[in-house]
Structures are given as structure tokens and as C-alpha cells.
């Protein structure tokens, strides 16, 4: 009988191991960390591999995979990961955005508030549940209102850190709308805080992105007044 020796990886960040860092909140940059060959295999191949690996995880935990309730779980998890909750990792799923002339000549801020989103913390792979509020001032072009929601959902559907999510939405809206005048506020509950670790069920995390005209205190106050 062979014996497997499992070596635990110890990664170091700024001189500290990931065990020493523990639950500390880390964000390594604006871009979601992806391997260079992240899309070398098809979604179907990814789902097949994830299903096999998740079946192994369930087996290690001692679950009976012959049980009618559990036997389909590996496939369900694989499908959920690739087609649903992490579908924002694949650029092919980015929403198609069409720009239109601002024929109404509306030159005040447009606010889309209370956009509900579900994401997942990249540190523990448990849900982040929140509301996004976005605003922009047209530079001559506008987009359909639902596209603001779709942009939020696209970036939320990947393993995330809230600060990165906020900045990704803000920067992409600037590029799409061809304007610097963009604002984003995200108010979210992290289940890695409320369901494990410190188990604080009442706290929430708020992050913001202000650019262009929204660097003015008056515009920030106006934006916040819309949210009240």
C-alpha cells in the first residue's frame, strides 16, 4: 500500500506567510489575478475537471456520494462555477454595450441605485451580498439603463475583493462612456465576516470610486443625496 505525502504550500507576501496573514484583507491590484492560459481549455472541459475535483473533496470530507441527494452535486457545482457565479472571469461573457447620442441634452448626473449583486470573496469563496450605486455625467453619449446593471453583475461574477470590484466597475464605465465623470458606491455584507471568523452579523463594508467632476465635494454630496 502506497502512502501519499502531501506538502502544504507556504506562500509569502511582504515577508509573511499566508497562514500568518490569516484573515487580513488583501488586494493585489485592479486586474483579477488570472493565469496566462486561463482560457486554454473549453468551458465543457473545465466543468468536467471541476466535477471530478469537487467529488474528491466531498469524498475526503466523508460524504456518501452514492446517496441520491449528493451524487449529482459535483456536476451541479461545476456548472454553477463556470456558467453562473464565476462567469465574469471569461471576457466572452462581458455584456455588449451600445452607445447612443445624448439627444435629450441631459447634462446632469444620471444615477442608477440599489443594484443588487452577489459575488464571492476570493479569500474564502463565500458570498458577498450587496448593493451598487453608480452615476455618470454624459459627455455626449449614453447607454441603456440596464447596461449599468449588467456591468456591475459582470464584475461581481468572479472571486472578488470589494475594493477591486468597485474600481473595476468605475474604470470600465469611464472607458465605455468616454467620460471621466463617474461615481460608484458599493455597500456589501461579507459572509466571510458574518458566517465564520469573527461572526459579526451586523457590519457592512462601504467602498467608493469618484472620478472627474465627482472629485468635487458638491457633486459627492449631490450623489449621496440621491441615495438617501
**Choosing from 55, 123, 160, 168, which is the catalytic residue?**
123
Predicted local confidence at residue 25, as pLDDT: 55
Q: Residue ranges of the domains in the chain?
A: 36-85, 100-227
**Choosing from 153, 160, 162, 168, which is the catalytic residue?**
162
Cell of 32: 483579477
**Choosing from 124, 163, 171, 222, which is the catalytic residue?**
124
Predicted local confidence at residue 196, as pLDDT: 84
Predicted local confidence at residue 13, as pLDDT: 47
123 is catalytic: yes
27 is catalytic: no
CATH level 2 (architecture), domain 100-227: 2-Layer Sandwich (3.30)
> Does the fold of domain 100-227 match that of domain 36-85?
no
19 is catalytic: no
CA-based end-to-end distance of the chain: 66
**Choosing from 122, 133, 153, 168, which is the catalytic residue?**
122
d(CA 179, CA 139): 6
- The residues near 175 (Cβ < 8 Å, ≥ 6 apart) are none
CATH level 2 (architecture), domain 36-85: Orthogonal Bundle (1.10)
124 is catalytic: yes
What is the pTM (predicted TM-score) of this model?
Answer: 0.88
Cell of 74: 459535483
d(CA 185, CA 214): 12
Residues (pLDDT < 70) of the chain are 1-28
Compute CA distances 204 → 80, 113, 144, 224, 226, whole Å: 26, 17, 30, 17, 20
Instruction: Please tell me the chain's helix, strand, coil percentages from 3-state DSSP, rounded to the nearest 5.
Output: 40, 20, 40
105 is catalytic: no
190 is catalytic: yes
Amino acid at each position: 500500500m502506497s502512502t501519499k505525502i502531501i506538502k502544504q504550500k507556504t506562500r509569502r507576501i511582504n515577508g509573511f506567510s499566508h497562514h500568518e496573514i490569516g484573515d487580513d484583507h488583501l488586494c493585489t491590484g485592479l486586474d483579477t489575478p488570472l493565469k496566462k492560459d486561463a482560457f486554454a481549455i473549453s468551458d465543457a472541459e473545465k466543468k468536467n475537471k471541476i466535477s471530478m475535483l469537487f467529488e474528491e473533496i466531498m469524498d475526503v470530507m466523508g460524504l456518501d456520494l452514492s446517496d441520491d441527494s449528493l451524487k449529482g452535486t459535483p456536476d451541479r457545482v461545476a456548472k454553477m462555477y463556470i456558467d453562473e457565479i464565476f462567469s465574469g472571469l471569461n471576457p466572452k461573457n462581458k455584456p455588449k454595450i451600445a452607445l447612443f447620442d445624448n439627444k435629450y441634452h441631459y447634462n446632469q448626473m444620471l444615477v442608477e441605485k440599489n443594484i443588487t449583486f452577489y459575488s464571492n470573496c476570493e479569500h474564502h469563496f463565500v458570498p458577498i451580498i450587496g448593493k451598487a450605486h453608480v452615476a455618470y455625467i454624459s459627455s455626449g453619449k449614453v447607454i441603456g439603463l440596464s447596461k449599468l446593471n449588467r456591468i456591475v453583475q459582470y464584475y461581481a461574477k468572479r472571486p472578488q475583493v470589494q475594493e477591486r470590484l468597485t474600481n473595476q466597475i468605475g474604470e470600465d464605465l469611464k472607458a465605455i462612456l468616454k467620460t471621466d465623470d463617474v461615481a460608484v458606491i458599493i455597500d456589501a455584507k461579507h459572509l466571510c465576516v458574518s458566517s465564520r471568523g469573527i461572526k459579526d452579523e451586523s457590519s457592512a463594508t462601504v467602498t467608493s470610486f469618484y472620478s472627474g467632476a465627482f472629485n468635487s465635494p458638491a457633486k459627492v454630496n449631490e450623489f449621496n443625496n440621491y441615495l438617501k
